[in-house]
Structure 1
């Protein structure tokens, strides 16, 4: 994973391509499909590097969403069936409330928002409410 992380956290598309070559040299025999898959999609990947690190982190960070889904699945999986839709909604509400206690911000939202207002000024208001 650190070798792949080095690719999408690279400073520029050129550096990322060099790191992809490094990845293929080290891991290409064990995982032969990964390098060619990145290369086939390279034209779709490179626009990603035009954004500053704050925006790019928002794009590639999905850990919070995955953790939320895992927590909800864990709660639902232990129940066989629900007597009503209301019972299911109450269970999900309580699960969300309990899962929210452990959340830590993975993204610096103010810095990311500032970058979004620079890149997309027509789409966002200039102040956070």
Structure 2
């Protein structure tokens, strides 16, 4: 959901992120009520992210994207017997 991005990516403060979360809830709560309830219930833990400076927050969400790419590469390696390592892919 592209509407999640403003919460952790574009928001410059915890308050801005909370407003983005409220917008997300108003738009999607009828379709994704369980997911949004989970976000709301865990907001105290999730919002700790905004205590870090912007450059650290960027490293956190960029690192997760890189790890996701590595996971896909590992899946490809597992399927293709001719690629024994990440380097050969």
TM-score by length of 1: 0.60
Q: Cα offset for 1:98?
A: 4.1
Q: What's the counterpart of residue 28 of structure 2?
A: 27
Q: What's the counterpart of residue 121 of structure 1?
A: none
- Compare CA radii of gyration and give the structure with the larger one: 1
> What value does the CA root-mean-square deviation take over the aligned residues?
1.7
Q: What's the counterpart of residue 18 of structure 2?
A: 17
Q: Cα offset for 1:12?
A: 0.8
Task: Tell me how far apart the structure 2 counterparts of residues 40 and 32 of structure 1 sit (CA, whole Å).
Answer: 12
Task: Tell me how far apart the structure 1 counterparts of residues 71 and 52 of structure 2 sit (CA, whole Å).
Answer: 28
Higher normalized helix content (fraction of residues): 2
2:61 aligned with 1:60, yes or no? yes
Number of aligned residue pairs: give it. Answer: 86
Task: Tell me how far apart the structure 2 counterparts of residues 58 and 8 of structure 1 sit (CA, whole Å).
Answer: 12
Q: Which residues of structure 2 form unaligned runs of 5+?
A: none
Q: Cα offset for 1:14?
A: 0.9
2:30 aligned with 1:2, yes or no? no
Q: Cα offset for 1:33?
A: 1.2
Give matches, 1:21-100, under 5 Å. 21-61=22-62, 62-79=64-81, 91-92=84-85, 96-99=86-89
TM-score by length of 2: 0.83
